[in-house]
Amino acid sequence: MTQDQLKQAVAQAAVDLIVPQLNDRSIVGVGTGSTANFFIDLLAKHKGFFDGAVASSDSTAERLKQHGIPVYDLNNVHDLEFYVDGADEANGHLELIKGGGAALTREKIVAAVARTFICIADASKLVERLGTFPLPVEVIPMARSHVARELVKLGGDPVYREGVVTDNGNVILDVHNLMIGFAPDVEAQINNIVGVVSNGLFAARPADVLLLGTKDGVQTLKR
């Protein structure tokens, strides 16, 4: 199976998991990236069975609207049962690195609100230890050099993602070679650097369910 077929299989598994639990008042939190896009396209087949969605990026909002799925402002949503999104890396504790698509901050906000965070990923994303994938950090533009120096003090090698501006008008530093021991501590430490908006470690709020696409089928990992 190709990586895209594995992504499609986990997207379908997420649809199969949540759709029976939705009703005409349900709003679904939707992530960003190629796996999330498969999810959107498959979820759209059931659009009569739920009210709408909250999007974690402008591109996701656009794709949802193209399918005729209403997109709500998170501030007007009082109950979000499910958030479904991909990841760049996941470990056995369902802690994640996200932000390869630069949408980490909005993804983290929607994940924080949702009662159940379902991560969908192909098997290549499962790792023993987080950090081979460079950790994305969203930074206020004027703080870029300051934050980069602080990240070097933490042992990382930050690289400015040239030409990328986030939906929030900020920039991304991708931190290579960072030793991620206890992920919640590293997440908090980076968030404490002045000028950091958020970082791509999802450890304080990990996924609740990881649907992993393998050549032998979709595996379900739970916390």
**Active-site residues: which are they?**
107
CA atoms within 13 A on the CB side of 111: 29
Residues near 182 by beta carbon (within 8 Å), at least 6 away in sequence: none
Any binding-site annotation on 35?
yes
- 58 or 79: CB nearest ligand 5RP: 58
Minimum distance, C-beta of residue 202 to ligand 5RP, in the bound complex (Å): 9
Residues 6+ apart with CB under 8 A from 194: 143, 146, 147
Q: Look up residue 85 and give its two tokens.
A: 């999104």
Q: Where do contacts with ligand 5RP occur on this chain (CB under 6 A)?
A: 31-35, 85-88, 98-104, 107
Nearer to ligand 5RP among residue 146 and residue 219 (C-beta)? 219
33 is in an annotated binding site: yes
CA distance 211 to 9: 9
**CA 96/CA 75 separation, integer angstroms:** 25
The DSSP symbol for 134 reads P
Annotated binding-site residue? 222: no
Q: Which helix (H) or strand (E) holds 27?
A: strand 27-30
CB nearer ligand 5RP, residue 9 or residue 87: 87
Closer to ligand 5RP at the Cβ: 26 or 57? 57
For the bound state, the minimum distance from the C-beta of residue 160 to ligand 5RP, rounded and expressed in Å, comes to: 17
Q: Determine if residue 101 is labeled as part of a ligand binding site.
A: yes
Q: Which residues are annotated as a binding site for substrate?
A: 32-35, 85-88, 98-101, 125
